[in-house]
Amino acid sequence: MTVLDLDEAVGAMTAELVGLRREFHRIPELGFEEHKTSALIAEKLRALGLEPQTGVAGTGVVALIEGAHPGRTLLLRADIDGLPVDERSEVEYRSTHPNKMHACGHDSHIAMLLGAARVLIDRKHEMHGNAKLVFQPAEEGPGGAQPMIEAGVMENPHVDAAIGCHIWNNLPTGQIGVREGPILASTDQVEIVIEGSGGHGAQPQRAADAVVAAAHVVTALQTIVSRNTSPLESAVVTIGTMNGGYRHNIIADRIVMTGTVRTFDEELWRQVPGHIERIVQGVCAALGVQGTVEYTRGYPTTTNDPDMTALVREAAVAELGEEAVVYPEKTMGGEDMSYFLRAVPGCFFFVGSHNAAKGATHPHHHPSFDLDEDALPYGVRTLVASTLKYLAG
């Protein structure tokens, strides 16, 4: 199926998409506090003639576009939360909420899904089945996808597949990144506590130094990636904080470290906690201190289904042309879109938004982050084309 005149339909609404994105950009809210955001989303959906369901898993919003013909249901997901970042840029649409910012571009995800909704409503007669619009809270933490699934978003009507996208400053505007298999990593957390026995800095023989043991633990943990992981696989073990001690001349009795663990491979994901435990216990035993590990699972790996990925790629190529659709690098970032993609086959794709001429060059989560708004129509066209293709009957 070829999608015709989407260019025209979406092109005509570019100014509207930009306006929507800026409206949401001004009011960033943190996970499960997106009250203004979800109220505004619901208002926009009602203006389109839809009947949104609000308060799903707290601040989530769901709306259904029913096709003219019976068929399957495709879930279209946008995350809606901002970050605890103080926006540095002086753009006129900058955040009006101190220390909160749409520094990951989720404002654009809302705008693109609302834009897609508007086009899809006009094309209901082509749809065999339904498009279920899911505006999900708390992607940046603690995670809103799993609570929305628990709230029943995959039923009534039953969801058969899912798509979603992320605006992406790692690709230039005009490119859509589509890749099958794992594309974003699992994001686990670890806390390691080392307990020794304190003492005078000048009498180490009478103490068990937690600082020296912690230093050995951090160094030894690097062997998980270098020695326990296949050279063809990738993983990250980062210790991000290390706290303890009292003064320069006192031997510390206790050090607390926290870190993040990222993997793509399911088996490695299962093995890493055991590797950490073994290293911490071994090093601590060797140095005469006590070590405890608390390992917390975060979002699982975000993995794209081969068939749904092929469908999105074909739809994007038909709509935007071969040269616009690229095979992106995987990223060690995480996403709770992973829960939807574990529940049903689906595809999560990237919408390039890097543009040096417009200053859209900063990485996501940076206080000066901004995106090239010319990217928005590309995202909308890919969402709409993929949906119409999936619901073509």
Q: Catalytic site residues?
A: 81, 139
- Size of residue set near Ni ion by CB under 5 A: 1
Q: Does 104 bind Ni ion (CB under 5 A)?
A: yes
DSSP annotation of 159: P
The answer to whether residue 388 forms part of the interface with Ni ion (CB under 5 A) is no
Shortest distance, position 130 Cβ to Ni ion, whole Å? 26
- x/- string (CB under 5 A) for Ni ion, residues 47-86? ----------------------------------------
Nearer to Ni ion by Cβ, of 104 and 312: the residue is: 104
Stretch that binds Ni ion, among 96-104, 198-206, 275-283, 304-312 (CB under 5 A): 96-104
Residue 333 vs 345, nearer CB to Ni ion: 333
Stretch touching Ni ion by CB under 5 A, among 100-108, 150-158, 171-179, 246-254? 100-108
Number of Cβ within 10 Å of residue 343's Cβ equals 17
At closest approach, how far in Å is the CB of 81 from Ni ion? 9
User: At its nearest, how many Å lie between Ni ion and the CB of residue 337?
Assistant: 9
The residue (of 147 and 164) whose beta carbon lies closer to Ni ion is 164
Only one of the segments 99-107, 241-249, 289-297, 350-358 lies at the binding site for Ni ion (rule: CB under 5 A); that segment is 99-107
Q: Is 103 in the site for Ni ion (CB under 5 A)?
A: no
Q: Which residue is nearest to Ni ion (CB)?
A: 104
Q: Which stretch binds Ni ion (CB under 5 A): 64-72, 103-111, 286-294, 336-344?
A: 103-111
CB of 79 to Ni ion, least distance (A): 6
In whole angstroms, the minimum distance from the beta carbon of 50 to Ni ion comes to: 25
Nearest approach in angstroms of CB 46 to Ni ion is: 26
C-beta separation of 351 from 374 below 8 A: no
Our CB check for Ni ion shows the closer of 38 and 136 to be 136
**Residues 209-248 contacting Ni ion, CB under 5 A:** none
Which positions lie near Ni ion, rule CB under 5 A? 104
